[in-house]
Amino acid sequence: MTPRQDRSVPLRWIVSGSSVALLFAAWYLVTGPLGLVSSLKFPAPLDAYDSLIRLIRSPGYADGILAQHILSSTELVLIGFLLATATGVPLGLLMGRNRLVDGYVNPVFQLIRPIAPIAWIPLTILWFGLGMGAKLFVIWLAAFAPAVINTYTGVRNIETIVIQAARVHGASSKEMLFDVVIPGALPSIFTGLRTSLQACWMVLVAAELVGSFVGLGHIMIIASRDLDSGMILVAMICVALLGVLMSAGLTYVERYAIPWRR
Amino acid sequence: MASIGSRHVAPHRASVLGITTVAGIRGAMPVLGIATFFGAWTLATSLKLAPPTFLPSPLAVLHSMVELTQIPYAGSTLQQHLMASLEKFGISFAAAVLLGVPFGLIMGRSNLMKWALSPLFEGFRFVPPIAWVPFAIFWFGTGFLAPTLVIFAGAFAPCVINSYRGAQLIERHLIEASQTLGAGRWRTFTEILLPAALTHIVAGVRVGAGFGWQSLIGAELIVGSTGLGYMIVQAGSNLQPAIVISGMITIGIAGASIDYLMRAIQHGMRRKWAH
């Protein structure tokens, strides 16, 4: 490390830190002392803090405390995401390895895929009602397509020589799948799962905003009816943090699953 | 016969009998797939496995789609809803590109700007675009403008990220050469930075268009009184699945057309700047 680089590291933190501090100062000033933005447009920092405390303590807000809302939303995303992984990855593997299946399934897939998963929400509510079922279905749908496509691409991009070498050395079809194809496609599969996870949160929030009884999106809807901007901000930050946490969890799993990629 | 033949004959050449070659089966699979899809759909509805209030037949959907172009539903005809959606999309997508691309390029070329702006941008990026809907209502009311904030939130981040990467990957000597030859900041920006990062930028803009379109539909489900999202959510609560599916098909076609247009621009750019 040269001294020049050493000097730029603290500078970086000073710049980033002061930029964030500036944002918070501006937030405090325009919502509080300067009174430029009314609490109907954006909450003051202290209002948001009050909302957070109100949400955490026992009666909570919108029929539950924060932990219950978080649990409900997280549960839906997690189950929907796992279902999509458990169905999408095998289908992608099958389509990547078998041309007949590819030819059979791909056109139907291409026919349905352009319809944004969010656009399925009214139909699924009509089918399953406002409970868990409708939300699980749309979350599954949103996560399914990226899982299939990236698995498929991953399998297709494995070099033919690798496959041929395995075959020449007498790999059984089971060995071929578990020792050659899946490890070869794993980096691409994880890229797909990352996209899937992001899509899950997006669709969940949309579905909860359209209609729900519990969850972070439900908080937002009730709060916008009550004109409680502080509560909306708290719910938004919770959604963002949960997204970051789950994405970090996926990175952890990825490191464990693909040790050769560090 | 076919299985023996397929071992010895090259897969794409017709067998002696010319009936069931490997290539022939492969060619038939897509047709079979589509036929199974529509066949199962028609069968499920005609055998009353699914009641019409649950799943209408393909013909009923087609019929309602034609009807929607003539008789207004939820205030407008299908093409008016489509135009309303496209208009909102166009306005805020243009804003996201015009702001996001320079934002990304500046972050990619200046360390100071990167350090100052990236923590704010990272914070913004992790909020799902749809979560902006309540604030969109607070700021813009429930009218035409409310979804625009949500579309902007969806399209902005991909534009920034790809422009940033594009700007970082530019070879240093290109910039240095232009500065040696006396190009000012503005000329370096417009004549070196922008063209060199263009393929990355266009790729990001394409991703942004996809996210923006999705966010638009999501926002229209919740707020507003026009647009395809509004139409399908109204039809959903009136238990009219044929209209819901007609709207979904229109959303799919419009989304695919936007993506097709973006891809055409991407290919055009690649051809133009390849030399």
C-beta atoms of B30 and A118 within 8 A: no
In angstroms, rounded to a whole number, what is the distance separating the alpha carbons of residues A150 and B28?
25
Q: State both tokens at B187.
A: 């000329």
Tell me the CA distances in angstroms from A65 to A76, B94, B136, B248, one per residue in order. Answer: 17, 40, 25, 36
C-beta atoms of B118 and A16 within 8 A: yes
Average pLDDT of the residues in B92-116: 92
Q: How many CB pairs under 8 A join A and B?
A: 163
Question: How does pLDDT run across B124-137, given as a tens digit for each residue?
Answer: 888 999 999 999 99
C-beta atoms of A19 and B244 within 8 A: no
More confident residue, A36 or B87: B87
B186 pLDDT band, cuts 50/70/90, is: confident
Query: Which residues neighbour A95 within 8 Å (Cβ) at sequence distance 6 or greater?
Result: A101, A102, A105, A106, A148, A152, A155
C-beta atoms of B128 and A229 within 8 A: no
Using an 8 Å CB-CB cutoff, list chain B residues near A118. 130, 214, 217-218, 221, 229
**ipTM of the complex as predicted:** 0.88
> pTM of this prediction?
0.86
User: Which region holds residue A62: left if phi is over 0, alpha if psi is between -120 and 50, else beta?
Assistant: left
Q: Is A145 on the interface with B (CB under 8 A)?
A: no
More confident residue, B51 or A143: A143
Q: State both tokens at B189.
A: 């920006």
**Are B97 and B226 part of one and the same domain?**
yes
**Are B154 and B76 part of one and the same domain?**
yes
**Are B196 and B89 part of one and the same domain?**
yes
B6 pLDDT band, cuts 50/70/90, is: very low
Q: Is A133 on the interface with B (CB under 8 A)?
A: no
C-beta atoms of A116 and B252 within 8 A: yes
Using an 8 Å CB-CB cutoff, list chain A residues near B133. 209, 220
Closest residue of chain B to A244, computed from CA coordinates: B126
**Range A215-220 contact pairs with CB under 8 angstroms and sequence separation of 24 or more:** A215/A69, A215/A72, A215/A73, A215/A76, A216/A69, A216/A70, A216/A73, A216/A242, A217/A73, A217/B131, A218/A62, A218/A63, A218/A69, A219/A55, A219/A61, A219/A62, A219/A69, A220/B131, A220/B133, A220/B134
CATH number where B198 lies: 1.10.3720.10
**Are B122 and B10 part of one and the same domain?**
no
Closest residue of chain B to A197, computed from CA coordinates: B128
Tell me the CA distances in angstroms from B124 to A61, A231, B212, one per residue in order. Answer: 25, 18, 15
Residue B252: what pLDDT? 95
**Are B27 and B140 part of one and the same domain?**
no
Question: How does pLDDT run across B146-170, given as a tens digit for each residue?
Answer: 899 999 999 999 999 999 998 888 8
Question: Are A96 and A177 in contact, with CB atoms under 8 Å apart?
Answer: no
Residue A6: what pLDDT? 52
Residue B7: what pLDDT? 40
B274 pLDDT band, cuts 50/70/90, is: low
Closest residue of chain B to A240, computed from CA coordinates: B127
Tens-digit pLDDT string for chain A (262 aa)? 444 455 567 888 898 999 999 999 999 888 887 878 887 889 989 889 999 999 998 888 888 899 999 999 999 999 999 999 999 999 999 999 988 899 999 999 989 989 999 999 999 999 998 888 899 999 999 999 999 999 999 999 998 898 889 989 988 888 888 888 999 999 999 999 999 999 999 999 999 999 889 999 999 999 999 999 999 999 999 999 999 999 999 999 999 888 876 5
Q: Which domain holds residue B23?
A: 1-49
B3 pLDDT band, cuts 50/70/90, is: very low
Question: Are A69 and A231 in contact, with CB atoms under 8 Å apart?
Answer: no
Q: State both tokens at B79.
A: 């093409």
**Are B120 and B241 part of one and the same domain?**
yes
Residue B20: what pLDDT? 58
Domain count, chain B: 2
Give the H or E element holding residue B178: helix B172-180
B11 pLDDT band, cuts 50/70/90, is: very low
**Are B212 and B100 part of one and the same domain?**
yes
C-beta atoms of A202 and B134 within 8 A: no
Q: Residue B10: is its pLDDT beyond 60? A: no
Q: Please tell me which of the candidates B37, B126, B236 has its beta carbon nearest to residue A240.
A: B126
Tell me the CA distances in angstroms from A49 to A43, A45, A103, one per residue in order. Answer: 10, 6, 55
**Are B84 and B163 part of one and the same domain?**
yes
**Are B89 and B204 part of one and the same domain?**
yes
Question: How does pLDDT run across B52-65, given as a tens digit for each residue?
Answer: 788 899 999 999 99
**Are B128 and B165 part of one and the same domain?**
yes
**Are B159 and B66 part of one and the same domain?**
yes
CA distance, residue B262 to nearest chain A CA (Å) = 14
More confident residue, B155 or B225: B155
Write the DSSP string, chain A. --HHHHHHHHHHHHHHHHHHHHHHHHHHHHHTTT--S-TTTS--HHHHHHHHHHHHSTT-SSSS-HHHHHHHHHHHHHHHHHHHHHHHHHHHHHHHH-HHHHHHHHHHHHHHTTS-GGGGHHHHHHHH-SSHHHHHHHHHHHHHHHHHHHHHHHHHTS-HHHHHHHHHTT--HHHIIIIIIHHHHHHHHHHHHHHHHHHHHHHHHHHHHHS-SSSHHHHHHHHHHTT-HHHHHHHHHHHHHHHHHHHHHHHHHHHHH-GGG-
Q: Tell which A residues from 179 to 208 touch B, by Cβ distance under 8 Å.
A: 198, 201-202, 205-206
- The Cα angle at residue A241 between residues A239 and A243, in degrees rounded to 5: 70
SS3 B191: helix
Closest residue of chain A to B260, computed from CA coordinates: A114
Question: Are B21 and B7 in contact, with CB atoms under 8 Å apart?
Answer: no
Closest Cα to residue A55, out of A41, A43, A67, A71?
Answer: A67
Residue B19: what pLDDT? 52
Using an 8 Å CB-CB cutoff, list chain A residues near B227. none
Give the orientation angle of helix B78-109 with respect to helix B146-168, to 10 degrees.
Answer: 40
**Are B21 and B110 part of one and the same domain?**
no
C-beta atoms of B236 and A120 within 8 A: no
